[in-house]
Amino acid sequence: MWTFDNLPLKEMQDRYQFTPSSDWLAHVERAALRLKAGCSAAFVSADGLIITNRHCVDNCIAQLSTPAKDYIGAGFYARGREQELRCPDMEIDELEATSDVTARVAEVLKGRSGDDYAEGFATVSGRLEQDCADGDTRRWNCQVVDLYHGGRYALYKYRRYQDVRLVFAPESAIADFGGDPDNFNFPRYCLDVALLRAYDRDQPVHAEYLHFASRDPAEGELVFTAGNPGTTERGWTVAELKALRDDDIMPALVYYSELRGILEQFGREGAQQQRIAYANLESVDNVIKSDLGQFDALQDQEQLARKTADEVALRDWVLSDPARRAEYGDPWATIASAMGRYHALVTRYRMLEESWGFESRLFDYARMLVRGTEERDKANNRRLAEFRDANLPQVKQTLFSEAPIAPDYEELMLGWSLTKLRAALGADDPLVRRVLGTNSPDQVARMAVEGTRLDSAAERRRMWDESDYMEVSDDPMIAIAALVDKQARAVRKEYEDEVESVVRVQDELIARARFARDGSGSYPDATFTLRLSYGQVQGWREAEQEVPAFTDFAGLFSRANGNAPFRLPPSWLAAEAGLDPDTHFDFVTTNDIVGGSSGSPVIDRQGELVGLVFDGNIHSLGGDFWYDSTSNRAVALDNRALLAALRKVYGMPGLADELVNGHS
Amino acid sequence: MWTFDNLPLKEMQDRYQFTPSSDWLAHVERAALRLKAGCSAAFVSADGLIITNRHCVDNCIAQLSTPAKDYIGAGFYARGREQELRCPDMEIDELEATSDVTARVAEVLKGRSGDDYAEGFATVSGRLEQDCADGDTRRWNCQVVDLYHGGRYALYKYRRYQDVRLVFAPESAIADFGGDPDNFNFPRYCLDVALLRAYDRDQPVHAEYLHFASRDPAEGELVFTAGNPGTTERGWTVAELKALRDDDIMPALVYYSELRGILEQFGREGAQQQRIAYANLESVDNVIKSDLGQFDALQDQEQLARKTADEVALRDWVLSDPARRAEYGDPWATIASAMGRYHALVTRYRMLEESWGFESRLFDYARMLVRGTEERDKANNRRLAEFRDANLPQVKQTLFSEAPIAPDYEELMLGWSLTKLRAALGADDPLVRRVLGTNSPDQVARMAVEGTRLDSAAERRRMWDESDYMEVSDDPMIAIAALVDKQARAVRKEYEDEVESVVRVQDELIARARFARDGSGSYPDATFTLRLSYGQVQGWREAEQEVPAFTDFAGLFSRANGNAPFRLPPSWLAAEAGLDPDTHFDFVTTNDIVGGSSGSPVIDRQGELVGLVFDGNIHSLGGDFWYDSTSNRAVALDNRALLAALRKVYGMPGLADELVNGHS
């Protein structure tokens, strides 16, 4: 997960006899993209065509679907520009430039802690981001990024695309073939790909793009992935990892498992319900499987012992020397005690601030309006991070989205999550009493969803634009958001001041101590910023069995059994005879990827695209904490499988040609 | 949790100036009862009247209910013997005698391990149980019980009652007032009580019973509970506790949380569905809350550190002396490695053998038939434990039960759990492939539930009685059970030989080492056998607040808000004016109770019943691992609240008189 400016070139040369040129790097860096929703992507034609995973655009497809047009089940195929449909909530960012701002940030933060630290960081990063966007936040998305846990700060400048249109997405039955049973497993047989197109002023943008290779990747071949791994915790202390396991992963597993049960059963109630539940169920399944994998990884005694020994050695190195002790203190002890504080407040934080108690898009809108109108009036650096100038375009895009809302579903989710709120804080908690009054959670949800007008984008826009209008509103969802806001802000502030800031300062001390002892030469933990990973196409050994690196179409047809999630869509059944059964379908590589890397292009030495990352194997879930090349694998779609599908299954030769030629 | 033959009489005398007489003890021991389903109870009249919790008989009430008669919602009130209804699956055991069989068991087990150990234990305990039942297993239920983790073995002889009839059960709205939010909390306002009557040859049995006290218990008063705490793990090693947390509690939380979601949503689909889901949802809620509490308790660093230090000290005491080392070995290391083995096989064990992959009563019947007919033909000591002669009456009662079956619900549960099976073992597992074939889990469930005839008790009886008939059966549920059985037995054997037996032998060594160092003077871990606990009526301090020891009717009416789970049934609303608001309702005591103690009588110095345990507070959940008197509390119903309810709410003065007079 290397940043482009600090690659282990010597190691790459020694191991693979290859050193990417600066042109190679600049080209890949420009073509690589990220989705606001937390995925990676890349330009694949000069006419703004973008490749990513279908599971990264599920939300868009669900929003564009209607009872009459089920794009999730049937797929989406724009046969011509005029049929491309705009995704209501999508934003894609293209990295324009990065610069090192460590000195400027460090200067401001020096000696600060807690509240003061957070405000200092907000001030300096706000100023840097503002200067960088140069008054045009609609076009530029600038973000100060914390690398090496405060060891380095960088300013990332992105070109922002909010007019992104759906071009192609296959049926869920093939995009997600094997469903939850096969998720994080291999062999896999998924066409988990979607094509989008970025527009600017109603014209496709002219983009620097990755060429589509005309050949398959070969077993053992050196390949790169360029993408935006979300977060990793490889630099975390053991105390942080334990808190992650017990205070984050475990409660999330319980919460989302129950939610999964609700969604499964809701989805059985009818076709419309099934569609509504689908996108949510997919992502919930994913969270659960990934949390289970992480929980398992954190039980790996060998890795934990190695990690603990490493930590003990560094701590001894610091504490055994009076000068070092004076300089670094004992960050491990301070972090452990901050984790105690975290344990005490995390339930309340999650319920109120992370909205576990208020699972509802309408509530999210209400909170955005209540908070946003309050925050706007403050100086940029005094605002909550998500309402700083640099982020307002995203807020507005979300708030003014025309994506349809299903009131029954909103009511169900809000009612259910209010029972979770009551269970977590207790029926006698004063805030719970205020929110519920003498009503049941379901009644509160019904009244709020039936009574609100926030299902109308026009209403939300008016509230945002006219704060007088909102102030006199008697909208019941706004009322709930307002009721909760003070306490939600309070617990957030406690968390930020007493946990987050503390850990950040201490992590920085640990990072500095490590630099002082070992020098640099590692990569920073993932921060949803662009990274290059190198590896090779390679299977692995699972228990007693070799898992081969590739699957093919023949395997797909033999695994299909007519029943979801192993049911092929009619298009594939019809096309079977015309497909070469030996065509490679999916493959695995040793590239180091984690959540957020989905949609990363797999690139060869020539800088050409040979595949598309869409998953990791089950062992990749430990990748959040450590990388283990013996079993950790990225799972990717082969570029030739995509071409065959476009030409022979979907009858979209024009789109296949655009990929091959690099323009339409 | 003292056994009646080893009470800390001196400590009781010193602390409370009270020593129970041998008559007092014998009387309480005879009146105390236990329910097969895992609860406690007591005789409260000479005419076989039994008191226990309503939540302990939920299953019976659900089975007796029909679409036309909703005894769960409306309550059940037998106004005369002829209206008492037999509970289809219920068995109640009355302790007749106990005897120490340590020497005989130890003699057989000496030097054995693994498979050999298990068989030796089966042989000796089977023989002891057989002799004890003296050919009449329908009347006598005899069990060899392992106390002090093999430090002592005792033979328990119970009088078995299978004709138990429902007399009184209040509405769920008052039995379970406050529902899940209030569960494991206090203040509480629940009438969690049910009255049953034991019959023998269609006549009420004549019983030794506890007198109903005519007064309230007082704050600070010494009280006893006599009941059957299910299991505790206070003698477990730290390695066992960690495995419990990560390999048992965590997966159970995930599994049951999803099941809860399914049940919640299923229950929303209609009144009939709600009734069907109810009993299951109650118990699932309980499992989840209790698992969460245990998970939390196992994060208590202070208690864990104390426990670890205690373990380290004993281990040092053993390992530092060559003679002791030779005698005891290093049981802690052996157990830790058995836990590694457990981790490797527990998923398969749970899915196949504990039926997580086959959640269905019809499947349970099928397995009972498939296994039972095979096991019957073996020598008693070679059989699986549940099919030994002593246990066959319970098997038959379950198998021949007339309790109704809801096919839709069976189908839903089986289909869902088959998806869990596939997810846990993988779609490519050979057994999963054989069970599912090319069908989806839902299809397999539908075919099995629609095609089976096991919903008929007569059919089950015929299969049990005529093994030829079963052998030629093409019943699809029998087919599934048969398909799974070999592998389920195999993984059970692995578990029993490589984990259970190993741990048992090692636990025994630890127990012996502890005896050698400290002498006796403690109580054994809970084993669902009769124990006496002493304590006092007392509130506790929660965060900054004193929690008082009692609630009263006034509190109930002020907490009621008209919405479930805080909605009062019409009977209580109508009776409000006639009830004394100062009547004590529920109260807390420092008695040491855990799951299984539900339904334990609270008894005063005079040996009279003053209350009925129905829950513990949230801190009692740590009671599985250690007892902490500062916060661990039992929650009980006050006897006077029950009398007031019978007389003034339900108009059942006859039943109230039977309680007060001790006969009808």
A465 — contact with chain B (CB < 8 Å)?
A: no
Q: Is A545 on the interface with B (CB under 8 A)?
A: no
- Subunit contact B185:A257, Cβ cutoff 8 A: no
pLDDT at A117: 87
Residue partners of B198: CB distance under 8 A and separation at least 6:
B43, B48, B50, B92, B161, B163, B164, B204, B205, B207
Q: Determine the 3-state secondary structure of B166 from DSSP.
A: strand
Q: Is A320 on the interface with B (CB under 8 A)?
A: no
The per-residue pLDDT for A520 is 65
Instruction: Name which of A20, A23, A44 is nearest A32 in CA terms.
Output: A44
User: Which of B262, B286, B292, B433 to mutate against chain A (most A CBs within 10 Å)?
Assistant: B262
Predicted pLDDT of residue A86: 96
The verdict on a CB contact (< 8 Å) between B260 and A263 is no
Of A440, A561, A564, the CB nearest to B564: A440
> Measured over all CA atoms, what is the biggest interatomic distance in chain B, rounded to whole angstroms?
75
Contact (Cβ atoms closer than 8 angstroms) between residue B2 and residue B8: yes
Query: Do B258 and A255 count as a contact with CB atoms less than 8 A apart?
Result: no
Question: Who among B259, B422, B564 is closest to A261 (CB)?
Answer: B259
What sign does the CA torsion over A411, A417, A421, A426 have? positive
Between positions 600 and 659 of B, the ones with CB within 8 A of A are: none
Q: Judge whether A196 and A167 are in contact, CB under 8 Å.
A: yes
Q: Are A563 and B180 in contact (CB < 8 Å)?
A: no
Taking residue B303's Cβ as centre, other Cβ atoms within 10 Å add up to: 15
Q: Are A493 and A487 in contact (CB under 8 A)?
A: no
How many Å lie between the alpha carbon of A502 and the closest alpha carbon of chain B?
22
* A543: confidence class by pLDDT, cuts 50, 70, 90: confident
A438 touches chain B (CB under 8 A): yes
CB-based burial of residue B341 (10 Å sphere; 0-12 exposed, 13-18 middle, 19+ buried)?
A: middle
Q: Any CB–CB contact under 8 A between B443 and chain A?
A: yes
Of A261, A263, A563, the CB nearest to B260: A261
Nearest Cα of chain B lies from the Cα of A19 at a distance, in angstroms, of 41
Matching residue, tokens 């578990």: B495
Place of tokens 């998305």: A141
From B261, B426, B443, residue closest to A261, measured CB to CB: B261
Helix (H) or strand (E) segment spanning residue A43:
strand A39-43
Q: Distance (Å, rounded) from C-alpha B442 to C-alpha B421?
A: 12
Residue type at position B422 = R
Q: What is the DSSP letter of B41?
A: E
* Per-residue pLDDT tens over the stretch A463-498: 999 988 988 899 999 999 999 999 999 999 999 999
C-beta separation of A439 from A376 below 8 A = no
Cα(B1)–Cα(B524) distance, rounded to whole angstroms? 8
Per-residue pLDDT, B520: 65
Distance of alpha carbon A356 from its chain centroid, rounded? Answer: 18
Task: Provide ipTM, 2 decimals.
Answer: 0.87
Closest partner residue to A257 among B254, B264, B443, by Cβ?
B254
In a mutational test of the A interface, the residue from B183, B188, B265 whose CB has the highest number of chain A CBs within 10 Å is B265
Q: Do B427 and A561 touch (CB under 8 A)?
A: no
Confidence tier at A403 by pLDDT (50, 70, 90): confident
Nearest to A593 by CA among A531, A537, A546: A531
Please, which pLDDT band fits residue A515 given cuts at 50, 70 and 90? confident
Mark yes or no for CB contact B254/A438 under 8 Å.
Answer: no
Helix (H, G, I), strand (E, B), or coil: what is residue A360? coil
Q: Where are the alpha helices (DSSP H) in B218-270?
A: 238-243, 250-267
CA-wise closest residue to A374 among A461, A448, A471: A471
Q: Which of A258, A296, A298, A356 to probe the B interface (max B CBs under 10 A)?
A: A258
Hey, are the CB atoms on A250 and B253 less than 8 Å from each other?
yes
Position with higher pLDDT, A66 vs A638: A638
8 Å CB contact between B156 and B95: yes
Beta bridge partners of B76: B169
Task: List chain B residues with CB under 8 Å of A443.
Answer: 563
Min distance A310 CA to chain B CA atoms (Å): 23
Mutate to test the interface with A, among B254, B269, B413, B443 (most CBs of A within 10 A): B254
List alpha helices for A202-321, DSSP H: 238-243, 250-267, 271-297, 301-319
Taking the C-alpha atoms of residue A260 and residue A267, their distance in angstroms, rounded to an integer, is 10
3-class DSSP state for residue B147? strand
B427 touches chain A (CB under 8 A): yes
Which residues fall within 8 angstroms of residue A404, CB to CB, at 6 or more apart? A63, A66
Query: A492 Cβ partners below 8 Å, 6+ apart?
Result: A349, A353, A384
Side-by-side strand order, sheet with A601-603: A531-536, A222-227, A601-603, A609-616, A634-638, A584-589, A550-552
Using DSSP bridges, classify how beta strands A531-536 and B85-86 pair: parallel, antiparallel or unpaired.
Answer: unpaired
How far is Cα B130 from Cα B125, in angstroms, rounded to an integer? 8
> Which has the higher per-residue pLDDT, B39 or A511?
B39
Q: Are A560 and A165 in contact (CB under 8 A)?
A: no
Q: Which of residues 297-316 of B touch A (CB under 8 A)?
A: 299
Among B253, B423, B562, beta carbon nearest to A253: B253
**Tokens, residue B476:** 């699809």
Q: Considering CB atoms only, which of A250, A264, A443 is closest to B262?
A: A264
Residue ranges in chain B modelled with pLDDT below 50: none
CB–CB contact A266 B265 (8 Å): yes
Token digits for A544? 């007693």
CA pair distance A559, A566, nearest whole angstrom: 7
Q: Among A259, A269, A439, whose Cβ lies nearest the Cβ of B261?
A: A259
Smallest CA–CA distance, residue A432 to chain B, in Å, is: 12
Which residues have C-beta within 8 Å of that of residue A416, sequence separation ≥ 6?
Answer: A259, A262, A359, A441, B264
Burial of B180 (0-12, 13-18, 19+ CB in 10 A): buried
Mutate to test the interface with A, among B244, B248, B258, B417 (most CBs of A within 10 A): B258
Return the residue matching tokens 């192993």: A566
Contact A416 B181 (CB under 8 A): no
Quote the CA–CA distance of A281 and A294 in Å, as a whole number: 20
Residue A61: the pLDDT is 94
| Residues within 8 A of B (CB atoms), A 234-273 only | 246, 250, 253-255, 257-266, 269
CB within 8 Å of B585: residues ≥ 6 apart: B189, B550, B551, B552, B553, B555, B556, B637, B638, B641
**pLDDT per residue as tens digits for the range A312-359:** 999 999 999 999 999 999 999 999 999 999 999 999 999 999 999 999
Of the candidates A292, A624, A55, the residue with the CA atom closest to the CA atom of residue B257 = A292
